[in-house]
């Protein structure tokens, strides 16, 4: 049973998000950040998932419940016209060091007991890996690492072997690092022949998708994979900020 405090926090979905504070990434072990924050975007009456409260409590992440969208923005069918502004706000928040949870209720038929982490490259996505592992632990579910290689290469195209080898290497590095640092998390990996942004659309089967946001202290926009997940994934999406290169480099010898 949730505590009174947890229940109160689970009902806080109508408070407006404050301007994100800057958060610096301290050189701590994988998955630990200096007073990071999780900003929640959801429908007015959608509570914060219990696993998100557990994850924030376990990792010392500040939970900021706020920006609301109409219920129909999270449903299949005609797309919500306000996504461009929402995704721009998410890019700003992640660049300031905040993770953002798009608290979409899972669509019928899309439920699967796993967390999916979309990895493009390591160590660039080291924080995606860390946060996905933490969420999988909070949910007590398997973590599935995915990487896509476009089918448009064609089986005889130059570069296909290198692209497949690179994808396998990314997944192997991620699995190895989690086995070393988070041995209690069940990890699987899957290399798929698809454009990366096609991995996180309506056909995905998961309880949660974790993708990378804008690098901290940058002015970059969100990538195509993240934009696709935010707008089209049939389940909740966690957008996690990418750590600055000065801290990512600590993991390079292990990847």
**How do residues 200-223 score in pLDDT, each as one tens digit?**
765 678 889 999 998 887 777 898
- Domain hosting 106: range is 4-254
Q: In residues, how long is the chain?
A: 255
CA distance 61 to 63: 6
Q: For residue 151, give the nearest of 141, 164, 166, 169 by alpha carbon.
A: 164
Tokens matching residue 147: 């990487």
Q: What is the CATH number of the domain that holds 46?
A: 3.40.50.620
Q: How far apart are CA 112 and CA 208, in angstroms?
A: 9
Count of the separate structural domains present in the chain: 1
Closest CA to 49 of 57, 205, 183: 57
The band of 153, judged by pLDDT with boundaries at 50, 70 and 90, is low
Q: pLDDT-based confidence at 59, cuts 50/70/90? A: confident
For 66-84, give one letter per residue: b (16+ CB within 10 A) or e: ebbbeeebbeeeeeeeebe
Distance CA 126, CA 241 (A): 10
- Per-residue pLDDT reduced to its tens digit, 9-33: 444 433 333 333 322 222 233 344 4
For the stretch 132-164, what's the b/e string if a residue is b when 16 or more beta carbons lie within 10 angstroms of its beta carbon?
bbbbbbbbebbbbbbbbbeeebeeeeeebeeee
């Amino acid at each position: 049973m949730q505590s009174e405090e947890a229940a109160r926090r689970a009902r806080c979905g109508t408070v407006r998000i404050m301007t994100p504070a800057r958060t610096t990434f301290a050189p701590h072990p994988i998955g630990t950040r200096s007073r990071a924050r999780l900003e929640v975007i959801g429908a007015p009456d959608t509570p914060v998932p219990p696993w998100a409260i557990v994850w924030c409590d376990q990792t010392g992440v500040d939970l900021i419940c706020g920006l609301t969208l109409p219920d129909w923005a999270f449903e299949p069918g005609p797309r919500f016209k306000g996504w461009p502004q929402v995704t721009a706000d998410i890019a700003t928040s992640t660049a300031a060091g905040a993770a953002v949870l798009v608290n979409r209720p899972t669509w019928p038929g899309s439920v699967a007991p796993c967390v999916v982490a979309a990895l493009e490259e390591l160590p660039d996505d080291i924080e995606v890996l860390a946060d996905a592992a933490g969420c999988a632990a909070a949910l007590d579910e398997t973590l599935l690492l995915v990487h896509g290689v476009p089918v448009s290469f064609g089986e005889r195209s130059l570069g296909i072997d290198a692209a497949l080898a690179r994808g396998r290497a990314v997944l192997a590095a991620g699995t190895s690092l989690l086995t070393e640092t988070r041995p209690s998390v069940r990890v699987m990996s899957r290399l798929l022949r698809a454009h990366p942004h096609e991995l996180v659309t309506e056909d995905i089967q998961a309880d949660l998708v974790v993708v990378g946001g804008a690098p901290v202290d940058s002015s970059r926009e969100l990538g195509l994979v993240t934009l696709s997940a935010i707008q089209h994934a049939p389940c909740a999406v966690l957008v996690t900020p990418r750590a600055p290169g000065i801290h990512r480099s600590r993991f390079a010898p292990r990847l």
